Every structure is written in structure tokens, then in C-alpha cells.
Structure 1
Amino acid sequence: MARLQFLTLGAIALPTALALPSNLPVDIVVEGIERRQYTEPEDRAQAVVDTFKLSWEGYYKYAFPNDELKPVTNGFSNSRNKWGASAVDALSTALIMGEKEIVNQIITYIPSINWSQTPTSVSLFETTIRYLAGMLSGYDLLNGPLASLADDKANVEALLAQSINLANNLSYAFNTPSGVPYNNLIFSNHSTDGSNNGLATVGTLILEWVRLADLSGNKTYASIVEKAESYLLNPSPPSSQPFPGLLGMDISPITGEFQDAVGGWIGGADSFYEYLIKMYIYDPARYSALKDRWITAADSTIQYLTSHPSSRPDLTFVAAYNGTTLQLKSQHLACFDGGNFILAGQVLGAQKYVDYGLSLVEGCHQTYAATKTHIGPEQFAWNPAAVPANQTAFYNASGFYITDASYSLRPEVIESYYYAYRATQDQKYRDWAWDAFVAINATTRVGSGYSSINDVNVLGGGGFTDFQESFWFAEVLKYSYLIQSGEAEWQVGDGGRDAWVFNTEAHPVKVFGGSR
């Protein structure tokens, strides 16, 4: 690994990748940090690259080829089947950052993965968005603009071969009476746990499997996910669609029917809506019906789910629902919604969606600005009848109260800042992303990497969970870098048709049949 220079971010020092600090949690006071010491985007982008290298060095030294680093204890965990989730999730970010040594460490490893062997159950959804998408993205980038980063062309071709191998191991999930797959798979005997599937876990397969079909020439990969998607585009029973285009979340793989009418732009539903417009970007000729479905859902969201806290009517949040009853609550996960509206507004030439998305970005920014760490909580609410007594003053000032104060290295707020900046070129979104990056560095940095924390509203984060998520590499650091970096063909929203589309794990794949 090349040595890195120290980068001082206010009160935060980002050490060299080789000089990893001891695994002792440190209380870091973030109030009073000098704001935006790094004002030039090039310097900020380099700071993100250095954080990526530091994170990779800790993972590679203590955890590779296991799934995740445990940075406090310098150990490892395997929540994603012991196939090296952090390595595969890091690939597209390493490529975009031009980190050739890391790229080759990863693509040299990937051919050795045996997808048929795992000690734990397999999530069709998580495996698709992390492993399958990570390899397909690497294949597209290394067969396109970043071909020079691969030392061995055979390792590039292995990315597609391993994608096919993985999909073949997963494909029995679709062998159901309806064609709606099971999500939880047991590879040892080709069985499932028999449980219902969900809106997001069914509706967030189509981009990756269609891309695989187009690259491999095997259209079966596309047909099986398109059949599953058809149940989401034509939901049954009618009661599962309490507002036009907005659905429940629990789906029977036996019948393909929805079992509830609970939902929103929240975890368990979120990326179904995200992929409706992204499939239209991927191929508008084949997937215009998904674009129409996104418009229906978006218009219903604006009309029925828009909510303004009683204490801060200047803020805009999207409510969840149970039937037609609104639930005034949301999640960090849902804060991707602003970026999705902005992306769609640009693609469709509809400023109303851009403007609505920007208002959602403002609301999610408030969840960061209001806490003592300047990081947003996992879950929050704004029901004035249910404000906890010890958060009354906080709610009155901030427009929300915290219902789950943890932070799991999630990307969604920075993701939406990225789309906001790309659409508007307004410097404040770059500044907000930088502020978030600095705050996350100040609070989650520990031992050999970065850890999820317990409480964003306690200085220092209230303790570490000793777990570095793989999407730290794939999403948080990628979006933090992209918003500060210059023009490149994978950047979104600079006119014409985007040449790349990002999956829900922030892995960019080449759009079908053309470019800008």
C-alpha cells in the first residue's frame, strides 16, 4: 500500500494507512470543529480517498477475505456468507478512485470464491445488490473507461463468469408457483425458509439480473425477474394499494399476492420505487412502463404522504402508512428519496420532482444538523402526540424526535446530497456532504477502521458496535468522493441520457445500448 499523508480535518486527523492506530475507542468532541478547513473539492476528494485506503488497509490486514472488519477488536465477521462482502463491495469505489493496487487485490481474489459453499443462509436480495452488482459494475468499468487498472485481463473476464456462477446458484429461488422468489435460501440442500418475501426484496433484483442477461446473452436471467416484477406492477388484492402506485410490503411467493397494505419509502419498500425510474434510465425502450409506475407512485407520495412537522412546518418529510392511515415516522434509509425524486425529475424533464426532492433533502439535512454528533439517527418521528417528555425541547427546535439513535454507517443522506449537487451545482450540497463526512470521521473512527455507533445524540457516539459495514466502502465513501470530484462519464445529471446508473448499493452499471 502506498503511504498516505496526514490530512487534518479540523480536530480530526486521518492517519496514514500503514500506521494504523490502536484499537482503543477515543472520545472525540465534534462541537467546535473548524468548519470546512478543506475548501477545495480536490482536497476534499483526496481526504475521502485517504479514508477509503485507511479502511481498506484495516480490513485487508485483519479481516480479508471474510465479510467485515471488526475494527475495535481487530477481528472479523461473516454476515454475508463468508464470500468477502467488503472486498466485492469495495471494488467499484476503488475503480472510480483509481486505486489500482486495491483493484487488483480484489479482482485476483474474486475468481477463487465458491458460491455454492456457505455456512449461513443466503439472502437473494443482499447477495444480488452487493455481490452480483459489485462484480457486474467492475466488469463494465474494466471493459470500458478503466480498463487500464486491471493487471490481468483474465481476472476481468472472471467477473462475468463469477456473476453467472452466482446467479445460477441463486436462481432456484424463483422456482415457486407464482414466480415471486423466496428471499432466504439454504444452499446446502437447495431449500428456503418458506417465509413470505417483501416489496424491496422482490423489486430490487431487476436491474442486476437484466444487466447480467444483457452481458451474458442468457435472457432467462431477465425473464425470471421480469415475471416477479409483474406482480408488483399489477398488485393484488386491490386493498394492497392504499394510494395509487403505493403498495404493501409482504408478498406470498405461492400466490404472488400482497398480504398487507403497510409501506412508504422506508426499509422493506424503498428500493422498489428507486428501481422503477432507474430501469427506465437503463433502457427506456423496454422499461417505459416502470417509468409510468414511478410517476404514479411519486404523484401519490406528493399528494398523500407529504408531511410537515408541527414544530417546524418549514421542513418536509414523507410519512409511512398502514392502509390509508399515515404514520408520522421515517428512517435514515428513507433519506434516499430526495435523490431519487431529483434523478427522476432530471430524466423526465419535470422540475416539480426536482423541487420536491430538494425539499426532502433539506428535511434529511436537518436530522444531521440537529444532533450532537451531526450525524442523523437510524429512525425518527414527528407525531406531536407522541413526543417523549425528554425530547420536547429537541422536537420544538428540530422538527423531529429520535426513536432509534444508532448509526450504522449508512449512506442515504450523502447520496441525496450527491444528486442534489449534480442537479443544481449549488455548493451548499458539497458543503453539507463534507460536513457529514467530517462528522462521521470524528465519531465512528476507531481502531483499525470505522464502526457503527450507538447514539448520534451523545458526543462521541455513545459507544461502538465493533462492526464496519461493507456498504461503508460501496456507498458512503463513493458518494462522498463523487460529489467532490470532477466530471467523469459515470457522473449523473450533466445533460442528456446518463451513461451509467447506480444500483441501490451504489454500484454503477453501463446503461443498455448507448451513452450520452
Structure 2
Amino acid sequence: MSFQTPYPTSSLTPSPRPGGRLSPANYNSRTGLAGLGLSSNPASLSNKLGGFFEQDRPLPMYKDKPHFAPRRTAPRKKWRPLLALLGLCTLAYLFYNQSSIPTWQRSGSYDKGAELWNWMQTLEDSSASEKYADWGARREKVREVFQVSWEGYEREAWGFDEYHPVSGRNKNMVEGGMGWIIVDSLDTMIMMNLTSQVRHARQWIATSLQYDQNHDVSTFETTIRMLGGLLSAHYLSTNYPTLAPIKDDDPGAAGEDLYIEKATDLADRLLGAFETHSGIPYSSVNLNTSRGIRSHSDGGAASTAEATSVQLEFKYMAKLTGEAEYWQAAERVMEVVDEQEPQDGLVPIYIHPDNGKFTSKNVRLGSRGDSYYEYLIKQYLQTSQEEPIYKIMWDESMQGIRKHLLAFSKESKLMVLGERPGGLTRPILPKMDHLACFMPGTIALGATSGLPLSMARKSPSWNQQREEEILISRELMKTCWATYLNTKTGLAPEITHFVLGDEPIMMSDKYPTPSKTGSTFEMSSISQPLTTTSDGSDPWRKDIIVKNNDRHNLQRPETVESLFYMYRVTGDEIYREWGWEMFKAFIKHTAVLEEKQSRLSVPGGAGSSWRVKGFTSLSNVNSIPPETRDNMESFWMAETLKYFYLLFSDRDFISLEEHVFNTEAHPFPRFKPSGDLKTGWERKPRKDEK
């Protein structure tokens, strides 16, 4: 498919304000991580909280801010007035001939947006021309895309929570802003070794970021994005000092504890949401008063996923500060949920803070249900597998998913992770949110605990159940990939429906329990490969339905997140190759362009060219050229590009064996709980055990 030349619409609006200069990459494609300082052992995690950051202390000058040379005192030359007169004449000429002024220029610095545009022209033939995959070069391309995305935000929306790259508009969620985009993207910049960008963000955090707004915010979103972002930045800057090194956060520097102090202030305010009769947090909290606010919809019920997806953040806060209150508040939620004895480990998507009871029968692993399951296995791994209660709950959920939610499509037998909107006794709905595509990677992570599959299979605990979980993860990964392959842009819609037979084939019908035969790949007799033909007549496409209201793409990360886990666990290069095709589709179809003109050219004329100024969500993935939504979600830089970067990185970079990623892709270290930081509850006997 050839690249479509952009039409001169509002998405091409030029920006007259050049952004800050971006540092060139420091990456050696041959050695992978050379130049990023990861060859030496990282420093030990500091739990130090002593000393306060001096708010009035001026931070060092932003690295890329221009420095002016001092005025010279040499004797004045007689010809200098002539030069000055010539300069004035030149300015007058430019003023009256404005077409000679470039629409956009970089003050002499390297224009990554223009270079990215030039690269986009080669995308059609790039795969055929690549004799082998240079993953270092591909990773560097992700880094460049991040820099262009960040640069556009810096120029047009700096400090604001929302950025609309097509129109160049911006907006704050609450008065004064939440640091939504800056804090959420911070650890991505650290991983990418973007020192000047980190310095700029850190300066804003030190001087402008406050969490005392008299306004309600989402308890869940603020926890995973803001609290998670600050905690991850603290961890990476402490343990990987050669990544984006800044003297201000070095041990002993006045700003050493900036991130953790901001995180502590925020966490203390968020704790008010947990002050309910049941311990289930309210959906929102007023940051100024630390008062929880019940949901204005759903009868005041909270989303089950949101209530049970703050545990990683608060447990790590407790580890860093030694304050058990954070741990206890988050863990109480898990106890209350488990006391409801969810059938086969599957939880309805609403729970009420007043009494801790489920208020619906709807079971799904898409919106409002997804990250409950994710945080079961990740809590177990975060605490170095010393909280086995969460592994037990995870295994129960996996058996429930296998029994109630996994089905096969009619024609090509794609594995579908369906929903039960009326409860587990009602018919399955063959619908998958893009959000549900986190599951293939999470299943692989749960089966191996993050170890390479070859090593995990040597473990004494490895069994047929784990082997089949890997097979399930592979099949679901293929289904998620199919939702990308099926569209004209190569980008998945927000929601996909699948066609099942009149008598749906459920996995529980074919394989109700792990196979006893010892044969690992029995499911291969059902599964069929994803063939692609030029005329689009592939049988599997008949199994996929995209409804008009579901055609949008928000640049979500879940599928590339799973590709990252699948590659790290299995080592199969196919997941990297799928990721590369996805990445190119994002660049090809979500780029926001503006005109860059050479001197003495007419706008849109022969002397003009294009540059990329940012990236945006889409309204229709089956439209060429695609319809834009004019919005860049913070997770584009916090998650999607981060997971692409990690997918194309060496396996030991931010390894799965040593880290867990929260549901917003912020990495935390694994640790061993001690003292009061331990599982504070025990499961009650089940009805069939009494």
C-alpha cells in the first residue's frame, strides 16, 4: 500500500514556535545497550527520605537553552554600520515578502519531524528491502517517534494535561494541571536516555506540580498514571543512574527525593478514597480535602478493575516509606473482593463501596474488569512470590476463563475471549475490547513468572497446565494480531466482534481440563494460520465484525504490551515482526503533518515539503486517508511507544525477572516484604469446603 500524500487540511496547520533542541541518540545498534550505561550493576535501591527538596532552589539551566556570548569590547570597526544597515534592509525585505519566511524551522538544529516524514515515504518497500532485522535501528526509530511526539507537546501544550496535535490546542483537567502527560511520560524518557527532556520535565515537576486542587479526580487513573509515574521515575533514576543522568537526583543532592516526596504527598491525598464502610475505594477523590466521592453513575458502585488495580502502587509506596497504612488500605480491597466468593474466580465488573457487594452479573476482561486479573499475578510477582494467595486466586481465574469465556470462531477457529454480560449462566457474547488484548502476555507471564520459556520448563513446578497456558497465550495473541491485519490501516478498532457457530465451540467443550495425554499441541487441530491474500478473501476475515461505533483507534498499548511479554517469554521473533508492522502502521496513519517550506517558495508549491509534528487518535481505522480525532492520549508516550521500545530492546533491558509493570507500563522492582508489609488476611473456607 503506497503512502497517501496528505491533504492540506487543518491537520497541516503550521506552528510558528520552534521547540527545544533534542539531543541525538546515544545508541550502539551492534551491542544493543552500549551507551546506555547498563553494562555495570545498578546501584542498590535507596529508601532514604531524609532531607527536603528546597522549593526555592533554582535548578540548573535547561541543557538545551541557548547561551549568549558575552559582549566584546574590541575597537569598533568602521564597516560595522554598513553591515547593520544591510541587516535592516534584509529584514524589511523579509517583512514585505513573508512567503520567503519558512513556515517552520528548527533554529539550525536537526529536524526529526522532517526526517521522520522522509522515512515514511519508504515504508511501502521497507520490509522487502530489509535483508535482516536491525533491531537496534528499529528501536532507535521508536525513540525518534517519541521525541517528535514530545517535541510537539513541548511547543504547543507544555504543562497542560491534554494535547490536541491536529489543532494545536491544549487543556487542563483541573485548574493548575495534574502533570498528566509529563509525569506519565517521564520514565519512558529515562529509559530512552533522553537527558534534556527529562531535565525539562523534572524542572516543571519541581516548580509547578502541585496536588492540592480543590477538584475531584479519578482515584484509579491518578494512582496508575501519576503515582505510578513518580514512583517509577524514582526507581529508575536511583537504580539506573546512567540512564538520563541528572546531578539534581544524585545521592546527596538537594533534589534526590523530589519524585518520592511528590509521590508521598499524592498518595496521602488519595488515601481518603479508601475511607468507606467496606474499604472498597470511592471512584473519585478530592485532592484538596482528601475526601472520597462516590460514582455519580452506576448507583454509586465502583468499577471492580479500578478498585483492585491500585495495589502495586500502594505496596511499593509502603516499601519505600515504611508506612504500612498504604499496604493495608490496598490489601483490604482484595480481601473484601475475595469474601464475595466469585464463581470460578471470575468477578462481576461493579462493586459497591458501602457494603463491598457486587452490583452486577456482567463478567468480562475488557473495560472495568481487565486489570483485576492482571494485578492478581503481578502482586504475587511483585513480592517475590511470597504472597501465594494471589497465585491461588490467579489460577482459579484462569480455570474460570478457560471454562466460561474462551470460544472458537466459526470459520477459522480463532480463539475468542468473550464476555458474559448476563452472568456465567447466560450466553456468551463474542466481543473483545482492545483492552482485553493485555491478556495473552499476562497469561504467558503467569505461566513462567517472567522467565524464558526454556528455563521455566525446567522448573519442578512446570506441568501440563502451564504448557497449555502458553498455548492459550499464543492463540489469543494471534487473535489480537488478526484485529490489526483485518483493517485498511493495519490498526485495530476499539472493539471487535466475532462470528461463532450456531452452537458455539467453547474451549471447555473440547478441553475442559488440562490434557492428560501429555500432548502439548492438541489444539493445533482446531487452530488455523492467518493467511493473507492480496484480494482480502482470507477465510478468517469472515469471522470478524467491526461495528460503526467501534471503528476508532486511541493508540492503545495492550496488543504491543502482549507482544513484548510474548517475545520476552518465548523468544519467538514473530512477535517482534508483528510489532514492527504495527509500529509502521501507527506512523503511517496517525502522524499529524505540517508544511515546511524552503525559502522563496509558495505555500503548497514546488518548494514546500512536510514534517511530522505529532501523532493523533483515529476515528475510523477502515478509512484511507484515516479520519483523525485530534487527541493524543498520555498512554501513547507512557505505554505504547515504551512497549515498542522494550520489544525491540535486548531481553535483559528492564528484565521481567526483576520487575513488574503496573497497568500504565510503569516498572517497579520486585522485593521481599518484611515486618508489617505482608499479607494481612486469609481466605475464608469456600462453601464446598465447609
Partner of 1:224: 329
Question: Residue 581 of structure 2 aligns with which residue?
Answer: 435
Percent sequence identity over aligned pairs: 29
Distance 1:117 1:137 in 2: 23
Q: How does 1:303-318 map to 2 (within 5 A)?
A: 303-313=403-413, 315-318=414-417
Q: 1:77 maps to which residue?
A: 171
Aligned residue number for residue 415 of structure 1 = 561
Instruction: Quote the offset at 1:3 in angstroms.
Output: 5.8
Aligned partner of 2:592 in structure 1 is: 446
1:9 is aligned to none
The 10-residue stretch of structure 1 (274-283 or 318-327) with the greater mean CA deviation from structure 2: 318-327
> Which residue is equivalent to 1:263?
363
Question: Could you tell me the TM-score, scaled by structure 1's length?
Answer: 0.88
Matches within 5 A, 1:313-324: 313=413, 315-322=414-421, 323-324=423-424
2:300 counterpart of 1:136 = no
**Which residue number in structure 2 is paired with residue 482 of structure 1?**
646
The equivalent position to 1:108 in structure 2, one of 203, 206, 214, is 203
The 2-side partners of 1:80 and 1:478 are apart by 27
3-state DSSP class of the match of 2:163?
A: strand
Q: Which amino acid aligns with 1:144?
A: N
SS in 2 for 1:143: helix
The alignment partner of 1:454 has SS state of strand
1:361 aligns with 2:477: yes
Q: Establish whether residue 146 from structure 1 lines up as the match of residue 251 from structure 2.
A: no
SS of the residue 1:76 aligns to: strand
Write the deviation string for residues 174-208 of structure 1: whole angstroms up to 9, x where unpaired. Answer: 11111111012234553514521111111101000
1:123-143 CA distances to partner (integer Å, 9 max, x unpaired)?
A: 000001100001101111111
1:2 to 12, 22, 31: 22
SS of residue in 2 equivalent to 1:482: helix
Gaps of 5+ in 1: 6-14, 387-391, 493-497
| Cα distance change on mapping 1:21 and 1:431 into 2, 3 Å | closer
Q: Distance in 2 between matches of 1:156 and 1:288?
A: 35
Gaps of 5+ in 2: 1-20, 26-104, 450-460, 503-535, 594-612, 674-690
Alpha-carbon displacement from aligned partner over 1:305-335 (angstroms, at most 9, x marks no partner): 111111221x111111121221111111100
Following the alignment from structure 1 to structure 2, what is the Cα–Cα distance between the partners of residues 335 and 29?
Answer: 30
Instruction: Tell me, in whole angstroms, the C-alpha distance in 2 between the residues paired with 1:379 and 1:166.
Output: 34
2:487 to 371, 389, 393: 371
Partner of 2:447: 345
Report how far residue 400 of structure 1 moved: 1.3
Aligned to 1:458: 623
Q: Measure how far apart 1:385 and its partner are.
A: 8.3
Conservation of the 8 A alpha-carbon contact between 1:36 and 1:434: no
Looking at structure 2, the residues matched to 491 and 108 of structure 1 have their Cα atoms a distance apart, in angstroms, of 29
CA change 1:95–1:3 in 2 (3 A) is closer
Q: Is the 8 Å Cα contact of residues 452 and 465 (structure 1) preserved in structure 2?
A: yes
Q: Secondary structure at the match of 2:442?
A: helix
Q: 1:424 aligns with which of 565, 570, 573?
A: 570
Amino acid aligned to 2:198: V
- For the 8 Å contact 1:482–1:491, the answer to whether it is kept is no
| Higher deviation after alignment, 180-189 or 43-52 | 180-189
The residue type equivalent to 1:357 in the other structure is S
Partners of 1:429 and 1:172 in 2: CA distance:
42
Q: What CA distance in whole angstroms lies between the structure 2 residues aligned with 1:60 and 1:76? A: 11
Distance 1:173 1:37 in 2: 55
In 1: Cα distance, 2:188 partner to 2:539 partner: 37
SS in structure 2 at match of 1:501: strand
Is contact 2:113–2:148 with CA below 8 Å preserved after alignment? no
Q: Which residue does 1:192 correspond to in 2?
A: 293
Deviates more, 1:70-79 or 1:365-374: 70-79
1:511 to 670, 677, 690: 670
Q: Deviations along 1:90-124, whole A, 9 cap, x unmatched?
A: 11111111111112222222233110115x53000
Is the alpha carbon distance of 1:266 and 1:160 closer, same or farther for their aligned partners in structure 2, counting shifts above 3 Å?
same
Larger Rg: 2
The TM-score with structure 2 as length reference comes to 0.66
**Residue 35 (structure 1) aligned with residue 132 (structure 2):** no
* Corresponding residue number in structure 1 for 2:382: 282
Q: Please show how residues 195-210 of structure 1 align to structure 2 within 5 Å.
A: 195-210=300-315
Q: Displacement, 1:285?
A: 5.1
The 8 Å contact of residues 36 and 431 in structure 1, kept in 2 or not, is answered as no
Change (3 A) 1:456 1:31: farther
Verify the 8 A CA contact 2:563 2:579 in the aligned structure 1: yes
Structure 1 stretch displaced more, 122-131 or 340-349 = 340-349
The correspondence of residues 153-164 of structure 1 with structure 2, limited to 5 A, is: 153=249, 154-164=254-264
The 2-side partners of 1:460 and 1:19 are apart by 25
Query: CA, structure 1 residues 108+257, in 2 after alignment: closer, same or farther (shift >3 Å)?
Result: same
2-structure distance, mates of 1:410, 1:156: 33
Q: What one-letter code is carried by the residue in structure 2 that aligns with 1:424?
A: T
Say if 2:283 and 2:292, in contact at 8 Å, map to a contact too.
Answer: no
Question: What SS does the corresponding residue of 2:546 show, helix, strand or coil?
Answer: strand
Describe how 1:15-34 pairs up with structure 2 within 5 A: 19=111, 32=124, 34=126
Residues 357 and 284 (structure 1 numbering): CA distance in 2 closer, same or farther, change over 3 Å? same
Report the aligned-residue RMSD: 2.6
Aligned to 2:268: 168
The match for 2:188 is 93
Separation in 2, partners of 1:44, 1:395: 32
In 1, Cα distance between the equivalents of 2:178 and 2:126?
41
The count of corresponding residues between Structure 1 and Structure 2 is: 483
Counterpart of 1:121 in structure 2: which amino acid? D
Distance 1:221 1:479, change over 3 A: same
What is the rounded CA distance, in whole Å, between the counterparts of 1:30 and 1:330 in structure 2? 33
CA change 1:4–1:395 in 2 (3 A) is: farther
CA contact (8 A) 2:227 2:313 kept: yes
